[in-house]
Structures are given as structure tokens and as C-alpha cells.
Structure 1
Amino acid sequence: MNAEYQQEFVDVEGARLGLQIYPEPEGVADAPVVLISPAMGVPARYYRTFATALRAAGLAVAVADLRGTGASTPRPSRDCSYGYAELATDVGVVLAALKARRDGRRTVVLGHSLGGQAALLHLALHEGHDVDGLALVAVGLPWWRSYPGARRYGVLPFTQGIAATARLLGVWPGWGFGGRQARGVIHDWAYTARTGRFPQLDGVDAEAAIRAVRTPVLAVSVDDDQYTPHETLDHLCGKLVTAPVARERYTAAQSGARMDHFTWVRAASPLAGRVARFAARLPTH
């Protein structure tokens, strides 16, 4: 049965972020804390089954809605454009709000898709962070050349068409992909798809900053992922030249269910155990 969470909110300049905090795992003292950073357009409540599995594996769990999604504001509009820089900052704001709960415990940020990119960028752009580990699940840089076979030839027109629409309308309405998104988020996402690189963020070379990240990483791609197949995560991991990376695949045989970019969340008990083992072995700050 899914556990009930406590809904809280964290204020940051220009936004209010929804934060779901789950009860402590039973019988586990000073359990490592896992903060889940969701995929583009996916509300925090979607992760309830996964959060329950993580708790059963002995982890304390919180899930933060991305800016403009779920319980978080502001709603993306022509007058409200933000991008990857703000999403990366929001990760730090939520971690600060959880500081009292995290003190004395290992902290893992677990990012799914866009949430994983935001988490990685937070670590890269904020050298003084106190995160002990980063778990990337179904995350990849959607560079069109990294897609296998003929799929790559559809990625570029798909991503750049969405970016063109966002520029024209001042916002991406969410027509069939990603939910309603700020044009800045779509601009930065489309740049990664076109170039295979992160854009400069607030004048900082994000690519160079990522190469300097030393935080241990668990990088897991998912079978039958229609948006970030295994090769896209391989490309992203290639940028982590300093961090220790455990690169793994989560297979349908392991999960016992057919999966894709989203449905792995509902068949993730074995993966939750793997995240718990990763957290338990981390050195602490």
C-alpha cells in the first residue's frame, strides 16, 4: 500500500515549489535521505509507488515537483520563462529546506529524465553542495546522434519543432509531449538535443563544470525507454570524467514487467533495493 505523504511548500524567488515528504522508514535509525527530482511534466504524486518501495528498502524519501509542474508555481506562460539554471537552483533550495532532516545522514538526489539533468547541473554549478550521491534513472542527454539506427533522424525535427513552437507561442502548451513548459526550459532542452552539450548557464560553462563533478553516481537506463534509450545515458556518462560512475541497465527481466520511460516507476522494487545499497556505501561529507 502506498504511504501517505505530507505536502509542504518551499519558496524561492519567483516560484513556490511543492514538496512531498514521506514518513520515516520503520525500524531504521538515521536512514539515508533520497530526494526525487521528477521528469518533465510529471507531477510528484506519480512517484508514490516508487517512494513506497524506497521506504521499504530503508530510505527516507521526499519528492519535489519541478517548477511549474504539479503543486509548484508559477504556471508556465508567455510572461514567465525560466530554464535549466533555475531548475538547478531549485534543487539546492529544496535540499536546504530539508537540511534539518538530512543532518547526520547520507543524502542522495535521484533524478528522472529532466529532473536528473537538473540534479546533475546543481552539483556541477554549486561546488559547496552537501549531496553524497547522485542516482540518475532514465536520464539521458537527448542528442540526436546518440540514438540508435534510424530513430536519430526523427529526434532532431521533433525536438527543434517543439522549440520553434515554444518560441512562436511564448510557451510550450504540452501538445502530446512533456506537459506545459516554459520556453526557457524547452530552449535549453532543444539545445542539448541539437548539440549534445549543455548550454552555458548564467555565464558558466556547464560542460566544464560537469567534468569536475566528483560525487559518486549511479546511472541506470531502462529497457524500452522511448525517450532516453541506453545510448543517451552513455553519452551523458561520458561527460562525468572525474566522478565514480556505476553504469547499469534496469531490465524487464529484473523488474518482472514491461517498462518504458515512465512505467518503470511502477515496477521498481528491485531498483529501490539497488538505490539503497548505493546509498549505504557512500562516503559522507
Structure 2
Amino acid sequence: MQVYPQPDQPDAPVVVVWPAMGVRARYYRPLAAALRAAGMAVVVADLRGTGASTPAPSRRSRHGYAELAGDVGAALEALKPRLDGRARLLLGHSLGGQAALLHLALRGGDAVDGLALVAVGLPYWRAYPGRRRFGVLPYTQGIAATTALLGVWPGWGFGGRQARGVIRDWAYSARTGRFPQLDEVDTEAAVRRVRTPVLAISVDDDQYTPHATMDHLCAKLVSAPVVRERYTAADAGAPLDHFTWVRAAGPLAGRVAAFAAGLPRR
């Protein structure tokens, strides 16, 4: 985990950032700087098998979404001395947002005060606009079939090197619009029970999780207070897509800080 220098306020809210599939923690340095400038303490974790998290996925790797969700809990436990007495926020990008949400669904939200989802959505093929939806299903299922054949996803043009379980669970969501059952738990029902406040921000010109896929995900959060927003190129003052919003995150970081400031105090 990358732990950034504390802001001047000793009791500043802490935000733990969870990256997108195949994206290293170091990519989020501009976001971390913007969040810190907005008055937040920042930690950025690598997803399992990416960046500083070793070993890299191989044919022996069996982990999937359940283990990624468990890693969120393990990181929070390791950070407990830094978190005690302070507001705690998870910020997830793409797959990192799904892992953070699944942690809350499967393990409970007692250790977390709020969840920010940025450029997150279930990649359900029917949720994509226009004719684009008809390419999503063969694309995602083709990746899943290749991964099943090879025993690992090599990262050919998408997502970096990934364990077969991660790709299996991702492809299931793309095919069905639902989270897979994890650890013998009805994950869809567990997500509906999540009560942690959520800030859900979709991003303009997102090639992987356009606005409608975030709407599809938010529709599952029937028990949580959800603040639904869009981050536009006009807001950012720069072109945006699924990844480049990180480099133009100043106004977005302000929204996250305002959301954190409004959370109930511990």
C-alpha cells in the first residue's frame, strides 16, 4: 500500500483508494495529490497480483471476487491504527469499486463510513447504449473463454494479467447483470442490504463503464443512501475517459471531500 503524507489536520478523513483491473497504485498519484489538497489523508492499495502485490497471476492462481473483497478487509485491519477515531472512506475505481462494495456486502460496513464509486459499473451487456451492447457480450465472453483455455488471462489488450477467477466473475456479471454468488452467499441480496452512504460518480466518455452501467449498479443499492453524480469534461476542464479522469481529478476530489465531510462522525 502507498501511504501519502498526512494533511495538516490531524483528524482528517482517511480515504483508501482501490484501483481498476490491471492498474497499478502508482497511477493514482495525481488523484492522491488532489484528495490530499482537499484535506484528506490518502492510502492507495494495489489489487491482488497487480503492481507491488505479488506474485503475478499464474495458472496456479485461483482467486476471484471473494478474495478481492477479503483483501479490502485485510487492508482496513492493517490500517486500523491510522484509522481509529477518524472518518473512513473507501474509493473504488472500476473493479476496485466492485471489490469495495462486495467487502461491505459480505463483511459488513462497521469499519467504513462511506463508499465513493468512480467510473464503476457492472459491465452488463444490455446496459450499454445503442449498438455498442452487441459487441460487449462476445468481447467479454471471448476473454473468459480464452482465460479458461489458458488458465490465466495474459492481459492481451485489456485488464492486465489476471487470475482465472477474476475473469470468470467479471464475465458472469457482463453476461447476467448480476454479481456471482460468493462464499455460498447470495451476493445480490447482500448488496441490497448495504446501508453505507455511497457517492456514485460516472465519467464522461468512459469506454468501459458508461453512465448507464453505473445506473445499473446503483439500482441494486436499495438500502443505502446514494448520491448519484456525473463528472463531465466541462467539470474537469480536460478530456475524460475510463482512465484519464485520474489526471484531471481536482474538482472530483473536492466532491469526494465534501461527501466525506457530511458523513456522520465517529
TM-score, normalisation: structure 1: 0.92
Aligned pairs for 1:24-43 (under 5 A) are 24-25=6-7, 27-43=8-24
- Deviation of the 1:217 alpha carbon: 0.1
Quote the residue 1:14 is aligned against.
Answer: none
Aligned pairs for 1:112-127 (under 5 A) are 112-127=93-108
Between the two proteins, the alignment pairs up a number of residues equal to 266
Determine the C-alpha separation between the residues in 1 that align with 2:109 and 2:19: 23
Per-residue CA shift, 1:11-67, capped at 9, x if unaligned?
xxxxxxxx0000001x21300000000000000000001100000000000000000
Report whether the alignment pairs 1:274 with 2:255: yes
Determine the C-alpha separation between the residues in 2 that align with 1:130 and 1:123: 9
Report whether the alignment pairs 1:191 with 2:172: yes
Determine the C-alpha separation between the residues in 1 that align with 2:243 and 2:149: 29
Aligned pairs for 1:1-285 (under 5 A) are 19-25=1-7, 27-127=8-108, 129-285=110-266
Determine the C-alpha separation between the residues in 2 that align with 1:128 and 1:30: 21
Q: What secondary structure, in the 3-state scheme, does the structure 1 residue paired with 2:71 have?
A: helix
Per-residue CA shift, 1:175-201, capped at 9, x if unaligned?
000000000000000000000000000
Determine the C-alpha separation between the residues in 1 that align with 2:109 and 2:246: 31
Q: What secondary structure, in the 3-state scheme, does the structure 2 residue paired with 1:28 have?
A: coil
Determine the C-alpha separation between the residues in 1 that align with 2:29 and 2:10: 22
- The one of the two structures with greater contact order (alpha-carbon pairs below 8 A, sep at least 6) is 2
- Deviation of the 1:128 alpha carbon: 5.5
Alignment-mate amino acid for residue 3 of structure 2: I
- Deviation of the 1:73 alpha carbon: 1.6
| Percent identical | 77
Q: What secondary structure, in the 3-state scheme, does the structure 1 residue paired with 2:212 have?
A: helix
Determine the C-alpha separation between the residues in 2 that align with 1:246 and 1:80: 37
Deviates more, 1:135-144 or 1:67-76: 67-76
- Deviation of the 1:85 alpha carbon: 0.2
Determine the C-alpha separation between the residues in 2 that align with 1:175 and 1:284: 45
Determine the C-alpha separation between the residues in 2 that align with 1:46 and 1:281: 28
**RMSD, matched Cα:** 0.7
Determine the C-alpha separation between the residues in 1 that align with 2:103 and 2:239: 32
Contact 1:217–1:246, Cα closer than 8 Å, also in 2: yes
- Deviation of the 1:284 alpha carbon: 3.5
Per-residue CA shift, 1:71-116, capped at 9, x if unaligned?
0022111111210000000000001111000001000000000000
Contact 1:254–1:270, Cα closer than 8 Å, also in 2: yes
Determine the C-alpha separation between the residues in 2 that align with 1:160 and 1:188: 11
Per-residue CA shift, 1:190-223, capped at 9, x if unaligned?
0000000000001001000000000000000000
Determine the C-alpha separation between the residues in 2 that align with 1:172 and 1:249: 32
Contact 1:74–1:80, Cα closer than 8 Å, also in 2: no
Per-residue CA shift, 1:211-247, capped at 9, x if unaligned?
0000000000000000000000000000000000000
Quote the residue 1:12 is aligned against.
Answer: none
Q: What secondary structure, in the 3-state scheme, does the structure 1 residue paired with 2:67 have?
A: helix
> Which runs of 5 or more residues in structure 1 are unaligned?
1-18
Contact 2:18–2:90, Cα closer than 8 Å, also in 1: yes
> Which runs of 5 or more residues in structure 2 are unaligned?
none
- Deviation of the 1:127 alpha carbon: 2.0
Per-residue CA shift, 1:131-163, capped at 9, x if unaligned?
000000000000000000000000000000000
Contact 2:147–2:167, Cα closer than 8 Å, also in 1: yes
Determine the C-alpha separation between the residues in 1 that align with 2:130 and 2:98: 24
Contact 2:140–2:171, Cα closer than 8 Å, also in 1: yes
